[in-house]
Amino acid sequence: MLVVVSDTHSSEDHRLRGRTLTAVREADTVVHVGDFYREAVLDAFEAEARTLRAVYGNNDDAAIRDRVPKARTVEYAGVRFAVTHRHRGGDTGLVMFGRERGADAVIYGHSHTPRFDGSTALPLINPGSHAQPRGNRPAHAEIEPAGAADAGGEGDAAGELIGRLVTPDGEVFEEFRLGR
């Protein structure tokens, strides 16, 4: 499973709890989309995640910016994700960013608003914030091969990923599919 989190905004720890903490610990790969805030928080995520792929956000200190890039690509189950904290130009700018990186989808943060938008030229995924939702639901995203998520482990949509936006309390409030 690929787990996506963002916008922790903490000085000392990862602020993970409930389903979000469990998902981070169980994930094959965790993507953090920036705004850890302080280096100790990046260290805390590295201690919990099997594999962490992060980018820095606009509120991250210099120590974090020295350790992780501003943008990156992450491949999972044959799908290529372009990852950034934020990108000027709204949805169009995010799609252009993804196309420049040869991506199949874009993961971004910054707004603290959990969102999946499949209506754009490339799907856009924002996990929201598990720790500082700013009036939104606290959330993270979970993405896995469709066959693994379907009952009995057999999917009828070979080559697809299924995603969920999930609260730390375990409530799945949006599901989506991504094709390769």
Task: Quote the crossing angle between the two packed helices 18-26 and 39-48, to the nearest 10°.
Answer: 70
Q: What does the alpha-carbon distance between residue 68 and residue 56 come to, in Å, rounded to a whole number?
A: 6
Per-residue pLDDT of the chain (180 residues; tens, 9 = 90+): 999 999 999 999 999 999 999 999 999 999 999 999 999 999 999 999 999 999 999 999 999 999 999 999 999 999 999 999 998 899 999 999 999 999 999 999 999 999 999 999 999 999 999 999 999 999 999 999 998 765 444 444 556 999 999 999 999 999 999 986
The predicted pLDDT at position 87 comes to: 86
Q: What is the CATH number of domain 2-179?
A: 3.60.21.10
Cβ count near 99 (within 10 Å): 13
The string of pLDDT tens digits covering residues 107-144 is: 999 999 999 999 999 999 999 999 999 999 999 999 99
β-sheet bridge partners, residue 125:
107, 116
Structure tokens at 171: 């409530």
User: In the numeric block, which tokens belong to residue 2?
Assistant: 């690929």
Output the CA angle 49-160-76, nearest 5 degrees.
30
Q: For the chain, which residues make up each domain, given as ranges?
A: 2-179
The C-alpha atoms of residue 178 and residue 107 are separated, in whole angstroms, by 12
